[in-house]
């Protein structure tokens, strides 16, 4: 899921990570491996946000899903693995 700049900002206010800029050289590889998403790196690795089921409350949320883990202490190399759904949920939009 590609997030708008406002949704990226909202996500980062709730989740300790950094967004990977679309202009970063690694984005072509990430997109070919994982599809078109807004990618985040955190202390555990490479993640995306996927929409959760639409709740009746009118709040749109997303769940953080880890796609790759750091394999070195300097956090400079990632190893892809099966999608790992985390417990982290972020509010993307609230009903007006």
Closest CA to 4 of 38, 55, 52: 38
**pLDDT value at 23 more than 60:** yes
Query: Residue 54: what pLDDT?
Result: 66
Query: Residue 95: what pLDDT?
Result: 56
Query: Residue 59: what pLDDT?
Result: 83
**pLDDT value at 16 more than 90:** yes
Average of per-residue pLDDT across 25-53: 95
Alpha-carbon torsion angle 80, 29, 14, 92, nearest 10: -110
**pLDDT value at 92 more than 80:** yes
Q: What pTM does this model have?
A: 0.90
């Amino acid at each position: 899921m590609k997030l708008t700049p406002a949704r990226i900002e909202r996500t980062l206010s709730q989740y300790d990570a950094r967004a990977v800029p679309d202009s970063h050289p690694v984005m072509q590889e990430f997109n070919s491996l994982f599809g078109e998403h807004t990618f985040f790196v955190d202390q555990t690795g490479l993640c995306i946000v996927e929409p959760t089921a639409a709740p009746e409350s009118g709040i749109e949320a997303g769940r953080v899903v880890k796609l790759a883990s750091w394999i070195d202490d300097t956090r400079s190399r990632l190893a892809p693995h099966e999608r790992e759904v985390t417990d982290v949920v972020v509010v993307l939009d609230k009903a007006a």
